[in-house]
A and B are shown apart, each in its own frame.
Chain A
Amino acid sequence: MKIKLIDIAHGRSGDKGDAANIGIIAYDDKGYKILEKHLTADKVKEHFKGICKGKVERFELPNIRALNFLLHNTLGGGGTVSLKHDAQGKTLAAALLRMEIDI
């Protein structure tokens, strides 16, 4: 069965230098179990191939049903160096929520 990430989670993204951080929060405990099991760092790296040029780190915050991802080398240099329209990665949480997960 395929589920859309946007149906079970919300989130927020921002910049940390040239890395983007994407926090994804499940709406309920069941959703968090799905995130925890299926939304791996490798899957996120694959999803952002061509955008994220570095490694992806994943951190768990079960206390708020959330995962935090650090996508290194993603923002075209970061700060005012980046020529990207979204130089601060503000829209990347939404971009991750495009993902569909096979469960």
Chain B
Amino acid sequence: MNSALSNDNMKSKIRIASGQGFWGDLLEAPVNQVTKGEIDYLVMDYLAEVTMSILQKQKNRNPNLGYARDLPDLMKRILPICVEKKIKVITNGGGVNPVHCADEILEHAVKLGVEKLMIAVVLGDDIHDRIDELIEAGAELNNMETGESIKSVKHKILSANVYFGAMPIVEALNHEADIVITGRTTDTGLTLAPMIYEFGWDPKDYDLMSAGTVAGHILECGAQSTGGNFLGDWMSIENMAEIGFPIAEAYPNGEFVVTKHDNTGGKVSEETVAEQLLYEIGDPTDYITPDCVADFTSIKLEDLGNNKVKVFNVKGKPDTEFYKVSCSYDDGFSTSGNLTYSWPQALSKAKAADKILRKRLENLNLKFDEIRSEFIGYNATHESLAKKIDEDNINEIVLRVSVRSHDRKAITSFGKEIAPLILTGPPSVTGFAGGRPKPSDVVAYWPALIKKDLVKPQVRILNLS
């Protein structure tokens, strides 16, 4: 695939902006990205592993659903600006129904009076209905962490998706699509793709593939690289209320500058970028994507000041012969209940209430896979590392009890045992509002690998009619 062939106007620099770090992120962020300064691409990551199973369930109930429903509403807001400024949008918010998502955006475009719009949809990642066929064709789909055979969970699989990389998006851009909607695409592929397309990069130049992948990693969690969730000197981060989301200013040689729009809050420094580089990585020399294997120990950062950090010297190796597959399956039910106890003896009261509750659950002969008690205000985050505190200095404690079971009735019964503690347990207790805790589905993951030649991405073009 030679992307340079179809792209006559090679650019010397492109600005790729991150608009969402996850489904549920700041809704104003993508609007600010297209209005507060110049950008060429807006990329938005909507999909976490848990999201795919939720979307699959929605599609099972209604075949018109199964994508990030915020996305068409957002596009309705920003489409006129994107059309005017020629900003292309790339997102994996199509979930398990990218075609319907694209259709809905086209409907908005018609109502907005947009005259010309091409949406490319990337398909082929959803293998939920093809698992048997693929196993027959030689895919093992064993759990890549435990080695277990997929047979044990095959009957309860909720969703199964292959992670595609940048190349299907590059193909979409080669068709001159204005918007690219994908299903399960790697977060990094969303950012790498426009670089390959605009600069005519050879997909076998693994240092360049890795450079774009690192840019994608820095952009994929939104403001986590611009001062959000920053554990360094967090108090020095100004105006987090209006935090600017990251922008990668990319160059043909693979170097890029991480920045944000002027007049936005937050901060881009070596420290904020370094924290994001380390986020959710394993072996840094082996950052595996469908496009390449990037070496994070090669990355060099240079603070250019004024919220600009240059990233360069990225090295990488060839991609592997596999795609990653993420399956989700039903694994029982869980719920949590909270009660708040005040001074005096807040912690002792919460501990006593926990003991009483557990005795009652035992008397009811309910079967749980796990019961977990946490004391928020004391040890819910750092557990045994929490500093011991003098009971007299504790103003209040939230008792949080959580249960997990394959028996839905046990979870429902647990939900009925929380409120009674108010009148039948330790005193000065409150915070029970919003009704009984309800069972929610536990969704477990089955990560696997599949040979790349067994699944083929497809690009479908939808034009404004």
A residues in contact (CB < 8 Å) with B: 10-12, 14-17, 21, 23, 25, 27, 47-51, 57, 59-66, 68, 70, 76-81, 83-86, 90-91, 93-95, 97-98
Q: How many A-B pairs with Cβ below 8 Å?
A: 131
B279 touches A76 (CB 8 A): no
In angstroms, Cα B402 to Cα A31, docked, is 40
B137 an interface residue at 8 Å Cβ cutoff? no
B280 touches A61 (CB 8 A): no
Can you identify 13 A-B contacts, CB atoms within 8 angstroms?
A10-B230, A10-B271, A17-B145, A25-B271, A63-B298, A63-B299, A65-B274, A68-B282, A79-B443, A80-B440, A80-B442, A83-B404, A85-B380
A11 touches B231 (CB 8 A): yes
- Min CB distance A78 to B, Å, is 8
State which of A14, A59, A81 has its C-beta within 8 Å of the C-beta of B284. A59
A79 touches B444 (CB 8 A): yes
Rank and list the top 5 A-B pairs by shortest CB-CB distance, nearest first: A23-B278, A83-B402, A10-B232, A91-B381, A83-B372
Chain B residue with Cβ nearest A65? B274
B262-321 residues with Cβ-Cβ distance < 8 A to A are 270-271, 274-285, 296-301
Q: Which of B7-15, B94-102, B125-133, B382-390 is near enough to bind chain A?
A: B382-390
Chain A residue with Cβ nearest B368? A83
CB-CB < 8 A to B457: which residues of A?
none
In the complex where A12-B275, A23-B275, A95-B381 touch, is A85 in contact with B376 (Cβ < 8 A)?
Answer: yes
B274 touches A64 (CB 8 A): yes
CB-CB < 8 A to B233: which residues of A?
10
In the complex where A21-B282, A95-B385, A98-B382 touch, is A61 in contact with B275 (Cβ < 8 A)?
Answer: no
B18 an interface residue at 8 Å Cβ cutoff? no
In angstroms, Cα B384 to Cα A103, docked, is 25
Chain B residue with Cβ nearest A19? B282
B331 an interface residue at 8 Å Cβ cutoff? yes
Chain B residue with Cβ nearest A22? B278
State which of B224, B278, B299 has its C-beta within 8 Å of the C-beta of A68. B278
B443 touches A94 (CB 8 A): no
State which of B50, B297, B380, B400 has its C-beta within 8 Å of the C-beta of A80. B50
B49 an interface residue at 8 Å Cβ cutoff? yes
Q: A51-B384, A81-B443 are in contact. List 8 more A-B contacts (CB 8 A).
A: A49-B384, A65-B274, A66-B278, A68-B281, A76-B370, A79-B50, A94-B231, A95-B381
B229 an interface residue at 8 Å Cβ cutoff? yes
CB-CB < 8 A to B381: which residues of A?
85-86, 91, 94-95
- Min CB distance A11 to B, Å, is 6
CB-CB < 8 A to A94: which residues of B?
231, 381-382
CB-CB < 8 A to A27: which residues of B?
232, 271
- Min CB distance A67 to B, Å, is 9
CB-CB < 8 A to A21: which residues of B?
278-282
State which of B270, B275, B280, B402 has its C-beta within 8 Å of the C-beta of A11. B275
A50 touches B384 (CB 8 A): yes
CB-CB < 8 A to A80: which residues of B?
50, 334, 440-444
CB-CB < 8 A to B404: which residues of A?
81, 83
In angstroms, Cα B447 to Cα A15, docked, is 14
A16 touches B280 (CB 8 A): yes
B336 an interface residue at 8 Å Cβ cutoff? yes
In angstroms, Cα B447 to Cα A66, docked, is 28
A81 touches B275 (CB 8 A): no
In the complex where A48-B385, A95-B381 touch, is A12 in contact with B279 (Cβ < 8 A)?
Answer: yes
In angstroms, Cα B380 to Cα A47, docked, is 17
In angstroms, Cα B53 to Cα A57, docked, is 30
CB-CB < 8 A to A14: which residues of B?
279-280
In angstroms, Cα B301 to Cα A92, docked, is 25
B231 touches A76 (CB 8 A): no
B207 an interface residue at 8 Å Cβ cutoff? no
